[in-house]
Amino acid sequence: MINPKKFTNVGVVGFGAYIPKFRITVEEIAKVYEKDGKSIAASLGLNQKAVADRDEDTATLAVEAALLAISRSSKLKPENLGAVLIGSESHPYVVKPTGSIVAEVLGVGRDYLTADLEFACKAGTTAMTLIASLIESGLIDCGLAIGADVAQSRPGDALEYTAGAGAAALILGSKKYPWLAKLNTVSSFNSDTPDFWRREAEKYPAHAGRFTGEPAYFTHVVQGTKEYLQKFKQKISDFSHVVLHMPNAKFPQKAAARLGINREQLKTGFIVPEIGNPYSASAMTGLVKVLEEGKAGEKILVTSYGSGAGSDSFSLTIKRKNPINKKDDIKNQLKNVEQISYTKYLHFLGKA
């Protein structure tokens, strides 16, 4: 079991998220398959999804988010990073780490730990837990955790309407660095529930349809959050903001209702209607938006979800509002949007 330990020496010293500007609407995708786009959009609670350009991949998205996170840290330099961990299910290489590519571009140097992590959509939050543990142990003073994906979906599959692209980066550091938020506690809840999978050499993931909801997502997000609250003697009402993994708009809202989370707590980090599900970046991007817009003293609860299946829950307390690079806030990125046709979408995917 994971001990109910409170972190004493770990805080957020930088954060950032990058969302590609291209969007394709649910209705545009549905039109190709002669389906009712309006009813599909309503059932998913989704308007559109973010699409990576043809020259973008998980590594380039991760670099963009990491550069923004570094720019928001007042004292940190890339060479100070003791670890670079990247969670994704769309790493560019099967054998060759994304982490070393990103660290090289950032100028981290040679004296650092890196690894690529996989656990479907929760690999990025798992990276955060590992970085925090390395800092608390004294092995490193700061580290970079990234969740990034260019999500795959088989043409015509239900996933095609939601599978998006994006990256979020959190730099965690010891008290040697000014904290923007304090990391309080973490917990994890996992089981062998095969709701979503992709075997080696298969191009697209497969999923168990409706099975992905009740025994998979809802069990792990709801029960994982409840066990976190019980373990640390917390109540949902203790938190000003709550971020849940967002595979679509309906699932997190349904989970929130079961947990007693109100609309005000959910709304700041609830970005899925405009970007879709960027897999490992989903919950982390919601967290970044809360950190950009939240107020000092507010507490944040995050529960991610990864198919296969598991959830990570953790809480933070905002120490101060960061005024740096407001033009790069997610709120402003969501305004810089270019709609594309299905033909151009296929071109970006290399299929046309």
Residue 350 clears pLDDT 90, i.e. is over it: no
Separation between Cα atoms, residue 28 and residue 184, nearest integer Å: 43
More confident residue, 195 or 256: 256
Write down the pLDDT at residue 158.
87
Which residue is catalytic, options 91, 245, 274, 298?
Answer: 245
Write down the pLDDT at residue 242.
98
**Percent of the chain with pLDDT strictly greater than 70:** 97
Q: State the CATH class of domain 181-318.
A: alpha beta
Separation between Cα atoms, residue 99 and residue 16, nearest integer Å: 17
Write down the pLDDT at residue 302.
98
Separation between Cα atoms, residue 151 and residue 19, nearest integer Å: 13
Which tokens hold the place of 121? Answer: 């959509």
Is 181-318 in the same CATH topology as 11-180+326-348? yes
Side chain identity at 5, as an amino acid letter? K
Which tokens hold the place of 342? Answer: 């299905």
Of 182, 188, 187, 265, residue with least CA distance to 232:
187
Residue 234 clears pLDDT 90, i.e. is over it: yes
Write down the pLDDT at residue 213.
57
CB 186 within 8 A of CB 96: no
Least confident of 18-22, 142-146, 204-208, 220-224: 204-208
Of 190, 285, 185, residue with least CA distance to 239:
185
Per-residue pLDDT tens digits for 106-163:
999 999 999 999 999 999 999 999 999 999 999 999 999 999 999 988 888 889 999 9
Could you name the CATH architecture of 11-180+326-348?
Answer: 3-Layer(aba) Sandwich (3.40)
Write down the pLDDT at residue 323.
64
More confident residue, 199 or 243: 243
Please, which residues bridge with residue 306 across strands?
310
- SS3 string, 30-73, reads HHHCCCCHHHHHHHHCCCEEEECCCCCCHHHHHHHHHHHHHHCC
Per-residue pLDDT tens digits for 242-276:
999 999 999 999 999 999 999 999 999 999 999 99
CB 53 within 8 A of CB 218: no
Query: What is the mean pLDDT of the segment spanning 83-88?
Result: 98
Residue 310 clears pLDDT 70, i.e. is over it: yes
Write down the pLDDT at residue 108.
98
Average pLDDT of the chain is 94
Separation between Cα atoms, residue 61 and residue 66, nearest integer Å: 9
More confident residue, 79 or 209: 79
Q: Which residues contact 83 (CB under 8 A, 6 or more apart)?
A: 112, 113, 114, 130, 131, 134, 140, 143, 144
More confident residue, 220 or 351: 220
Of 13, 57, 12, 21, residue with least CA distance to 332:
21
Predicted TM-score (pTM) of the model is: 0.96
**In what helix (H) or strand (E) does residue 158 lie, and over which residues does it extend?**
none
| Structural domain spans, the chain | 11-180+326-348, 181-318
Which residue is catalytic, options 28, 64, 89, 274?
Answer: 89
Per-residue pLDDT tens digits for 318-340:
998 766 677 899 999 999 999 99
CA angle, 304 then 87 then 194, to 5°? 60
Write down the pLDDT at residue 352.
54
For the question of residue 245 being annotated catalytic, the response is yes
For the chain, the residue count is 352
Phi-psi domain of 245 (left: phi exceeds 0; alpha: psi -120 through 50; beta: other): beta
209 falls in which pLDDT band (50, 70, 90)? Answer: low
Which residue is catalytic, options 56, 91, 121, 160?
Answer: 121
Write down the pLDDT at residue 208.
73
Residue 167 clears pLDDT 60, i.e. is over it: yes
For the question of residue 89 being annotated catalytic, the response is yes
Q: Three-class SS of residue 169?
A: strand
Side chain identity at 125, as an amino acid letter? T
